[in-house]
Amino acid sequence: MTATPSPLSRRRFFARSGAGALALAGASLLRQPDAHAMEPFRRAGSSRLRLSLAAYSFRDYFGEGRDGRRITLEQFIDYCADHGCDGAELTSYYFPPDPSREFLIGLKRHAHLRGVAISGTAVGNNFAQPDGESLDQQIAMVREWIERAAMMGAPHIRVFAGQPKGLSKEEAKVQCVKALELCGNYAAHDGVWLGLENHGGIVAQVDDLLDIVRAVKSSWVGVNLDTGNIYTQGDPYEEMARLAPYAVNVQLKVRVGGAPTDLDRVVALLKQANYQGYVALEYEDKDPWGEIPQWLARMKEAFAQV
């Protein structure tokens, strides 16, 4: 039987998170980039890259499947184990609508017995909207997934900034900062990182993403660096290098700016930033069953040189 999560009390949520103070701060959140600004992460030791695979890579095969072939989350974890991955990124889109505690802990148990960590999950939120019920629902959804990630032992959730709804870009950035701080309070309580992805919308440009992340007053918010979502007229790898010091998770695409990914260059810039953590292959091209094993092998070889 699937247990439905208890409804979130808006009053309790916003009281605990200090939303009133944030609302009063308003646009000043982005006008003072040096006040309590987030700094790049300072990590002891040397760079360590851990191999993971995003469930999104098999997006056409969850649920009813495709071409007579389907996969479940448990089978995806098995696939990661069988292909030598350290972690498995379990995208939220492929969970039951209201996953029970028993289901989440069952995934944690299954992964542990296969020697695979659940490296994180990912949600499809939109914080780029005015105050009101819709934004409250988005914040509540992320908060719910923070609790679910903690139950699974997953250290990270990929979040979006979103597409503006009735706001200018600068207004939307302020809303995103406020929402991330609210969610960051919950993330800190449960020990789960929130990684804001460079995923178009108000963070299509690296400068805008860094504006937001640097303004967020939370030690549990960073960047989910997606190598395939760099929009620039210049060198995309230079833009990645600007994000890498703030990264708490990395998603590797097989193409960058329409060209095959220069894996050695990605590894070099992560090493330069002293990144230590998961690099999840998020495969979006054709023939995932045939191509993913080859890419995982290439990634293992490249990581071994770090």
In-domain check, residue 33: no
Q: Confirm whether 114 is domain-assigned.
A: yes
Tell me what pLDDT residue 3 has: 38
Burial class from Cβ neighbours inside 10 Å (0-12, 13-18, 19+) for residue 181 reads buried
Amino acid symbol at 129: Q
CA distances 30 to 26, 114, 174, Å, are 9, 45, 7
Residues 51, 72: Cα–Cα separation, whole Å: 20
Structure-token pair, residue 133: 């019920």
What count of residues does the chain have? 306
Question: What pLDDT is recorded for position 21?
Answer: 39
Q: What is the spatial distance between Cα 135 and Cα 129, in angstroms, rounded to a whole number?
A: 6
Which tokens go with 284? 């979006």
Q: Look up residue 299 and give its amino acid.
A: M
Question: Does some domain include residue 14?
Answer: no
Domain span at 52: 47-303
19 is a domain residue: no
CATH of the domain at 237: 3.20.20.150
For the entire predicted model, the pTM comes to: 0.89
Give the pLDDT confidence score for residue 306 in this predicted structure. Answer: 76
Q: One digit per residue, pLDDT tens: the chain, 306 residues? A: 433 334 444 444 444 444 443 443 444 455 444 345 578 999 999 999 999 999 999 999 999 999 999 999 999 999 999 999 999 999 999 999 999 999 999 999 999 999 999 999 999 999 999 999 999 999 999 999 999 999 999 999 999 999 998 999 999 999 999 999 999 999 999 999 999 999 999 999 999 999 999 999 999 999 999 999 999 999 999 999 999 999 999 999 999 988 999 999 999 999 999 999 999 999 999 999 999 999 999 999 999 987
Strands 48-54 and 87-89 turn out to be parallel
Using an 8 Å Cβ cutoff, are 275 and 16 in contact?
no
The answer to whether the CB of 206 falls within 8 A of the CB of 239 is yes
Whether residue 156 lies inside any domain: the answer is yes
Question: pLDDT at position 37, please?
Answer: 59
Query: What pLDDT, on a 0 to 100 scale, did the predictor assign at position 29?
Result: 53
**What's the confidence (pLDDT) of residue 165?**
83
Q: What tokens were used for 34?
A: 């040096």
Q: Which residue has tokens 């296969």?
A: 114
Residue 5 in domain = no
In this structure, the number of other CB atoms found within 10 A of the CB of residue 94 comes to 18
Q: How many domains does the chain have?
A: 1
Q: Strand, helix or coil at 129?
A: coil
In a domain, 206, yes or no: yes
Q: Which of 285, 251, 290 is nearest to 69 (CA)?
A: 290
